């Protein structure tokens, strides 16, 4: 008798669905993709972006048009979880000073790797400023096309 090619349903969490097909993405955590409210546990694992789906699910209960009554503990639990997750994501965000520091470090690394590009960029920038001053001095309008024409003439081919 031929053996069935379908995977054992108990092995479904190891990379295959209960029907035997492989999962489209790895399953890192069993709780990933489910509603964090204990009384709900609605699953969003089938969605392409389960994390976004959870945010949408929780935001639904913030909506005044929600089917649940405003005094419902189920709805209150979702609203509370939304606030908790929002606070957690806000605490993970970088402050403005940390963002600027990261940008400075990134720019420094880029400049180290691309010294020739940086030199050419600075040269073009200075020539553009010079061309703009030249056009303004002559009384002409400093349009982008006129500036680029002068830059092209001064830089050569």
Do residues 47 and 53 touch, judged by C-beta distance below 8 A? yes
Which pLDDT tens digit goes with each residue over 24-44? 665 555 567 888 888 887 888
Higher local confidence (pLDDT), 64 or 107: 107
What band does 108 get if pLDDT is binned at 50, 70 and 90?
Answer: very high
pLDDT mean over 133-145: 83
What band does 114 get if pLDDT is binned at 50, 70 and 90?
Answer: very high
**What percent of the chain is modeled with pLDDT above 90?**
13
**Per-domain boundaries in the chain:** 29-89, 114-157
Does 50 score more than 50 pLDDT?
Answer: yes
CA 151 to chain CA mean position, Å: 37
Sign, CA dihedral 24-29-35-38, equals positive
Q: Work out the end-to-end distance of the chain between its first and last CA atoms, rounded to an integer number of angstroms.
A: 77
Q: What is the CA radius of gyration of the chain?
A: 29
CA 27 to chain CA mean position, Å: 21
Give the predicted TM-score (pTM) of the model. Answer: 0.47
Distance CA 8, CA 20 (A): 8
What band does 147 get if pLDDT is binned at 50, 70 and 90?
Answer: confident
pLDDT at 14: 52
Which token pair is 23? 């999962």
Which token pair is 133? 């001053």
Higher local confidence (pLDDT), 100 or 3: 100
**Cα three-residue angle 52-53-58, rounded to 5 degrees:** 100
Does 139 score more than 60 pLDDT?
Answer: yes
**Cα three-residue angle 30-33-37, rounded to 5 degrees:** 95
Does 11 score more than 50 pLDDT?
Answer: no
Does 138 score more than 50 pLDDT?
Answer: yes
């Amino acid at each position: 008798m031929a053996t069935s090619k379908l995977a054992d349903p108990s092995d479904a969490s190891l990379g295959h669905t209960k029907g035997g097909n492989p999962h489209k993405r790895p399953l890192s955590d069993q709780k990933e993709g489910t509603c964090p409210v204990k009384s709900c546990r609605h699953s969003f694992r089938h969605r392409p972006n389960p994390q976004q789906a959870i945010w949408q699910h929780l935001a639904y209960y913030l909506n005044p048009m929600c089917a649940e009554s405003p005094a419902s503990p189920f709805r209150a639990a979702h609203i509370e979880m939304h606030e908790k997750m929002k606070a957690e994501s806000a605490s993970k965000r970088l402050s403005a000073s940390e963002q600027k520091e990261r940008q400075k470090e990134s720019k420094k690394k880029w400049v180290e790797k691309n010294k020739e590009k940086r030199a050419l960029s600075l040269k073009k920038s200075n020539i553009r400023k010079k061309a703009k001053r030249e056009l303004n001095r002559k009384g002409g309008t400093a349009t982008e096309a006129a500036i680029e024409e002068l830059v092209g003439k001064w830089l050569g081919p």
